[in-house]
Amino acid sequence: MGKLVSDLTTIHPLNEGTRVSVAPTPLFGKAIDTFVQQLRLAGQALRAGRLDEAISSYFRLLLQRPYHAELHNSLGLALRQAGKLEAAVEHHRLSLAADPENPALHSNLGNALRAVNRADEAVKHHYQSIGLNRDYAEGFFNLALCLRDLGRVDEAVGCFTRALALTPDNKRMRTELAVALLMSGDLAEGFAAYEARKRLPETPTPEFSQPAWEGGSVDGKRLLLYPEQGIVDVLLFVRFARELKRRGATVVVLCQASLKDLLSACAFIDLVVAEGETLPAFDMHASMVSLPHLCGSDVAAGSEPYLRAPSDTLVKLGRLDKARLRIGIYWAAAGSQPRDLERSAPLTHFLPLTGDPELLVFSLQGGARQKDIQHFGAAGLVHDVGRGIFDFAEAASALSQLDLLISIDAPIAHLGAAMGLRTWVLLPSNADWRWRLGGESAPWYPTARLFRQVKPGDWDTVFAAVRHELDALKP
One domain, residues 63 and 151: yes
One domain, residues 338 and 466: yes
Q: Is residue 450 part of a domain?
A: yes
Q: Is residue 369 part of a domain?
A: yes
One domain, residues 227 and 167: no
One domain, residues 348 and 250: no
One domain, residues 109 and 237: no
DSSP 28: T
DSSP 349: G
One domain, residues 284 and 402: no
pLDDT in tens, the chain (475 residues): 333 333 333 344 444 434 344 444 444 445 335 888 889 999 999 999 999 999 999 999 999 899 999 999 999 999 999 999 999 999 999 999 999 999 999 999 999 999 998 999 999 999 999 999 999 999 999 999 999 999 899 999 999 999 999 999 999 999 999 999 999 888 899 999 999 999 998 887 888 999 999 999 999 999 999 999 899 999 999 999 999 999 999 999 999 999 999 999 999 999 999 999 999 999 999 999 999 999 986 666 557 899 999 988 778 888 777 778 999 999 999 877 778 889 999 999 999 999 889 899 999 999 899 999 999 999 989 999 998 899 999 999 999 999 999 999 999 999 999 999 999 999 998 888 899 877 899 888 999 999 999 888 899 999 999 999 999 987 6
pLDDT at 300: 60
One domain, residues 368 and 458: yes
**Element spanning 254, H or E:** strand 250-255
- How far apart (Å, rounded) are the C-alpha atoms in residues 182 and 177? 9
Q: Is residue 250 part of a domain?
A: yes
279 and 273 Cβ atoms separated by less than 8 Å: yes
pLDDT at 33: 59
Q: Is residue 8 part of a domain?
A: no
Q: Is residue 436 part of a domain?
A: yes
Which of 198, 230, 248 represents a domain boundary (last residue)?
Answer: 198
Q: Is residue 424 part of a domain?
A: yes
Which of 265, 281, 299 represents a domain boundary (last residue)?
Answer: 299
Task: Please give the biggest Cα pair distance in the chain.
Answer: 83
Residues with Cβ < 8 Å from 5, sequence gap 6 or more? 14, 16
Question: At residue 123, what are phi and psi to the nearest 5 degrees?
Answer: -60, -40
Q: Is residue 451 part of a domain?
A: yes
Paired residues of 326 in beta bridges = 360
**Element spanning 43, H or E:** helix 35-47
Q: Is residue 116 part of a domain?
A: yes
Residue 175's domain is classified under what CATH number?
1.25.40.10
- How far apart (Å, rounded) are the C-alpha atoms in residues 109 and 96? 8
Residues with Cβ < 8 Å from 178, sequence gap 6 or more? 190, 191, 192, 193, 194, 196, 197
One domain, residues 40 and 186: yes
Which of 299, 317, 334 represents a domain boundary (last residue)?
Answer: 299
One domain, residues 155 and 39: yes
Q: Which contacts (CB < 8 Å, 24+ apart) does range 112-116 have?
A: 112/76, 112/80, 112/85, 112/88, 113/89, 114/142, 114/145, 114/146, 114/149, 115/80, 115/85, 115/88, 115/89, 116/85, 116/86, 116/89
109 and 126 Cβ atoms separated by less than 8 Å: no
Among residues 76, 81, 88, 98, the alpha carbon closest in space to that of 15 is found at 98
Q: Quote the number of domains for the chain.
A: 3
- How far apart (Å, rounded) are the C-alpha atoms in residues 387 and 379? 13
How far out from the chain centre does Cα 75 lie? Answer: 26
- How far apart (Å, rounded) are the C-alpha atoms in residues 442 and 436? 7
Among residues 65, 54, 62, 52, the alpha carbon closest in space to that of 8 is found at 54
pTM here? 0.87
One domain, residues 103 and 241: no
- Reduce the DSSP state of residue 404 to 3 states and report it: strand
Domain that holds residue 97: 26-198
- How far apart (Å, rounded) are the C-alpha atoms in residues 179 and 324? 41
One domain, residues 276 and 367: no
- How far apart (Å, rounded) are the C-alpha atoms in residues 116 and 454? 17
One domain, residues 95 and 179: yes
The sheet with strand 250-255 has its strands ordered as 271-274, 250-255, 222-226, 284-287
Q: What is the dihedral of CA 368, 228, 190, 139, to 10 degrees?
A: 70
Residue 459's domain is classified under what CATH number?
3.40.50.2000
